[in-house]
Amino acid sequence: MKLKICGMGANVLEVAELHPDYLGFIFWEPSLRYYDKSIPEIPKGISKIGVFVDESIPNILLKIKVYDLNLIQLHGKESPAFFKELRKELSLNKLQPKLIKVFSVNDSFNFETVFPFEEVCDFFLFDTKGKLPGGNGFHFDWSMLQNYPSKKPFFLSGGIGPDDIYKIFEFLNSPWRPIAMP
């Protein structure tokens, strides 16, 4: 189990002292947690994730280079073709961040929608469907992941906090456990 803390703000160094596995920086301007500062030097072993929503490939490439991002998390309506093109451009630019496709989940979520993305991304992230494309602060019914049909490692997201510790331990003992929980 790994820990991902997303939506970094002015307290990056303080959060990095907790030694999470991942720190997420939101590069979607409409977000209240939009990040436009430089990233201070953080301890080795913490991977930096850039979070984007329907962003252009040139802008994603620019952010990867400026912020030295290790993973790219895409929350928008990006298609498998977009991922293929992004991978091609990453390769041409000698960049190697891992790619995460986010799926907004509600009670009617169809897991078959993940299949077209299996070959074009490294991880999935399941987040609660809400008004915004992420960071809505509440979680979905995790038991629906019992029907997860893929072997692709995934992140679990959606309003997870300290009060969820017992649910997290229960979830970790299930056969459908995630790679990380933001």
CATH class of the structural domain 2-181: alpha beta
80-92 vs 57-67: helix crossing angle, rounded to 10 = 50
**What is the identity of the amino acid at 77?**
K
* pLDDT for res 3: 84
Q: At 57, which amino acid appears?
A: I
Task: Decide: residue 22, CB within 10 A, 0-12 exposed, 13-18 middle, 19+ buried.
Answer: buried
Q: What is the pLDDT of residues 85-142, one digit of tens each?
A: 999 999 999 999 999 999 988 888 899 999 999 999 999 998 887 676 766 667 778 8
Whether residue 174 has pLDDT greater than 80: no
Summarize the confidence of residues 63-75 as an average pLDDT: 97
CA distance 31 to 33: 5
Domain boundaries in the chain? Answer: 2-181
> Do residues 121 and 114 make contact, with C-beta atoms less than 8 angstroms apart?
no
**Mean confidence (pLDDT) of the chain:** 88
pLDDT 10s digits, 52-61 = 999 999 999 9
Alpha carbons 144 and 99: distance in angstroms, whole number: 24
- CB neighbourhood size of 66 (10 A): 12
